[in-house]
Chain A
Amino acid sequence: MPSGALLFQSIILGLLLGGLYALLAAGLTLYFGIMRVVMIAHSAFLILAAYLAWWTHSRLGIDPLLSMVVTVPLFFGAGVLLQRGLLSRLRPATLTMMSVLITFAIALCIEGLLGYAFSGTQRRIQLGYGTASFDLFGARVAVVKLIAFGLATVSLAALYLLMKRTQFGWALRATIQHRDAARLVGIDTERTAGFGFGLGLATAAIGGTALALDTTIYPSLHWHWIGPLMAIIVVGGLGSVAGAAAAALLLGLAQSLLQIPMGATWAQTVFYVALFATLAVRPQGFFGGRLAQRF
């Protein structure tokens, strides 16, 4: 039985990791809600943002967090373009399958271009505060992890407020809930859907910057993220933001705790076990998941 301090430490780390998972899963959930699209390239964009943050720091010498000033609007635009230019042009009857292939193709392109531009070498940001940490009731928490968690929490909260309190948020939720009805009350669903995709991709920009702070990055890293993220949105119930957040925290915690007895590599399997168990027992997901029943 591991000591109490170690357990507490793992719980803290698990929650911090879960926060990042929750933010990224929120983006995936948005895409799925808007268009029933499973966006494989989400984690590739995540790694792209991480590389841009690393590049900003190592070449321009500015704090990686400042790269978000550029990457967030850039990714928002890329998301709008992706939805308007590619996904909305696919045939509706085969949209789910073909959109997976399109986004998969985009992920391959991003991975290849990253490898070409920055080589396959592993990269890491060396920050002045990179090794700083502080005590929290006996657990050591690295400052960068806390910054990453803070970024994730703030963005999630902003996303929540945007969805609940603004007119655009209402339009977006209406589009997700019932496209035809939304159009009937005068919402430009095409434009809203495009902006929704931009919003989703912006979460990848923020997540990638947070990730770059304390992780070693390499071009094919995105495969290690897409699996867990896919598992999270299925367990949470495809299309449910709250469900995805709950599943993200739960699975992040489980991964962190299982690292104690099983080691880092095997602990990752918890996501896949959860994925298969969910699909076998309750395919529509454990939290919410109104949309998943039909898909």
Chain B
Amino acid sequence: MPNASDAASTPAAEQPSGAAPTPAAQPSHAALPSGAAPTPAAAQPSEAAPAPGAASSFRTPSNWLPLGAAALLIVAILVFPSLAPNPYILSTGVIVLNWAVLATAWNFVGGFTGYISLGHGALAGLGGYATGLLVAKADMPSFVALVVAALLVAALAIPIGFAALRVRGASFVIVSIALVLILLLVFQSWSSVTGGSRGLVVPRPFPGMLRPEHHRVFFFLYGGLLLLALLTWWLLDRSRFGMGLKAIREDEDKAESLGTPTFAYKLTVFVISAAFTALAGGLYALWFGDLDPVFQFSVLTGSYIVLMALLGGVRNLFGPLLGALVVGIALEYFKVEFGNSPLHLVTTGLLLGLVVMFMPDGVIPSLTALVQRLRNREASSIREVTAADLAEQRRREQEGVNS
């Protein structure tokens, strides 16, 4: 599990502050030797001991877990089209995979750097429109257009990221929302090129193909793209570059003072994320064949993506995928059951609010913690501590001292 590296680094970072034996830190030190007795380093309760102990206890069972999950995912992608009882279910599968790719692509920025973008729906829309326009107006072959469109969007992401990432946090979110609003405005008004509100019809890549077969092909295409995105995320997670990005997430000032080129890193990962998002959007354009600015540049798309990623857990490789499965299927279900009532806005809002308030780390970490607690009560004292938790803990302690 990608958490293993976090777990290895964070307890070590905790030590300087934990050196003063505060009441909160005491039990974890006391419980450690029993939990990780075999390692000689952990047997003596020195300050550096928890790092190797925590790493080994996390790594052994979870080494095969991502591999198993990946194998399961590949089998599921291969098998689902032949199991789907009718073309509608298959098309739902395509939509859910589309969400999964979008959420995973979002997680390159949101998960690694902690910068939350509400504008990724617009990047997908741009990818879709760029693909559609290249096919419809420039007569490019469909899949060449898809790649060119993704490169174009990635190139456009450089100036956007340049403006959005120079300052911290707040401005990034503002720009990401502004991006959606401005693109909606432009694509609706510039009707001579984009077709405006009448929409843009994208010629199909496989003209003679029957609809169920069309769904099946695109299901596999999306599946391949999802695997590529997951593989890239996994590679980044293990790389030095990924370390730097996670350092930005935990404490951007410290990362910068340690020599991480924070701005270049943030911009690079934003561009990678934009490229994957545009690929998903382009595939959608080729699959669906009809683009409307209202749906392509909707603020809702971005908020669904964020909801999926947060619900599943942004620190996990498969978190966004899991969230996309849950939320994507729920969205389709609600569309069938209740149509397009304004209440689905309320539902989305409530769900997003609940996740942010009570489960900001997502469902996977919550469940993992629960399983850990149930399986081994002593192991629960060694847990992954994020910089956010640490800061909060320190603040509490300080308030306790002050008052």
Chain A residues near B (Cβ < 8 Å)? 32, 36, 38, 40, 86, 89-94, 96-98, 100-102, 104-109, 111-116, 120, 219, 223-224, 226-227, 230-231, 234, 238, 265-266, 268-269, 272, 275-276, 279-280, 283-284, 292-295
Contact = CB atoms under 8 A, between A and B. Distances in A.
Contacts of B346: 108-109, 112-113, 116
Contact of B392 (A38, A92, A269, A294): A92
B339 to A, nearest CB: 13
Contacts of B285: none
Interface stretch (B274-282, B347-355, B366-374): B347-355
Interface in B290-317: 299-300, 303, 306, 310
18 contacts: A38-B173, A91-B360, A91-B388, A92-B388, A93-B386, A94-B388, A96-B169, A96-B173, A108-B346, A109-B346, A114-B342, A116-B341, A269-B185, A275-B178, A276-B175, A279-B171, A283-B171, A292-B171
B166 interface: yes
Which of B118, B162, B388 counts the most A-chain CB atoms under 10 A from its CB? Answer: B388
A292 B167 contact: yes
Given A105-B348, A227-B182, A230-B177, 6 more contacts: A92-B395, A100-B116, A104-B303, A107-B349, A269-B185, A283-B166
Contacts, number: 158
B163 A279 contact: yes
B240 interface: no
B356 A294 contact: no
Given A40-B177, A97-B115, A272-B181, A108 B345 contact: yes
Given A91-B388, A279-B163, A295 B169 contact: yes
A105 B300 CA distance: 10
Contacts of B392: 91-93
A36 B171 CA distance: 11
A94 to B, nearest CB: 5
Contacts of B175: 275-276, 279
Contacts of B39: none
Nearest to B300: A108
B401 interface: no
Contacts of B353: 86, 101-102, 105-106, 109
Closest 6 CB pairs of A and B: A115-B342, A112-B345, A108-B349, A93-B388, A112-B346, A109-B349
Contacts of A268: 185
A92 B166 contact: no
Interface in B328-349: 341-349
Contacts of B395: 92
A227 B185 CA distance: 11
Contacts of A40: 177
B168 interface: yes
B31 interface: no
A223 B184 CA distance: 11
Interface of B: 114-116, 118, 159, 162-164, 166-171, 173-175, 177-178, 181-182, 185-186, 188-189, 299-300, 303, 306, 310, 341-350, 352-353, 356-357, 360, 386-389, 391-392, 395
Contact of A102 (B343, B356, B386): B356
A5 B389 CA distance: 61
A257 to B, nearest CB: 18
Given A223-B181, A230-B178, A275-B175, A280 B356 contact: no
Nearest to B116: A97
B187 to A, nearest CB: 11
Contacts of B388: 91-94
Contact of A96 (B159, B170, B344, B360): B170
B356 A101 contact: yes
Nearest to A284: B167
Contacts of A94: 114, 360, 388
A238 B174 CA distance: 11
A272 B168 CA distance: 19
A97 to B, nearest CB: 4
A38 B170 CA distance: 7
A234 B357 contact: no
B317 to A, nearest CB: 21
A80 to B, nearest CB: 18
Contacts of B169: 36, 96-97, 295
A225 to B, nearest CB: 10
A52 B348 CA distance: 24
Given A98-B356, A227-B177, A279-B166, A112 B342 contact: yes
A105 B350 contact: yes
A104 B304 CA distance: 12
Contacts of A227: 177-178, 181-182
A32 B345 contact: no
Contacts of B306: 101
Contacts of B344: 112
A295 B171 contact: yes
A112 B356 contact: no
Nearest to A268: B185
B74 to A, nearest CB: 33
B174 A275 contact: yes
Given A92-B395, A93-B387, A295-B169, A265 B189 contact: yes
B115 to A, nearest CB: 7
Contacts of A112: 342-349
Given A92-B392, A97-B115, A116 B342 contact: yes
A268 to B, nearest CB: 6
Nearest to A272: B182
Nearest to A85: B357
A272 B386 CA distance: 36
Nearest to A114: B342
Given A97-B115, A279-B163, A108 B182 contact: no
A115 B173 contact: no
B80 to A, nearest CB: 31
A101 B311 CA distance: 13
A263 B142 CA distance: 36
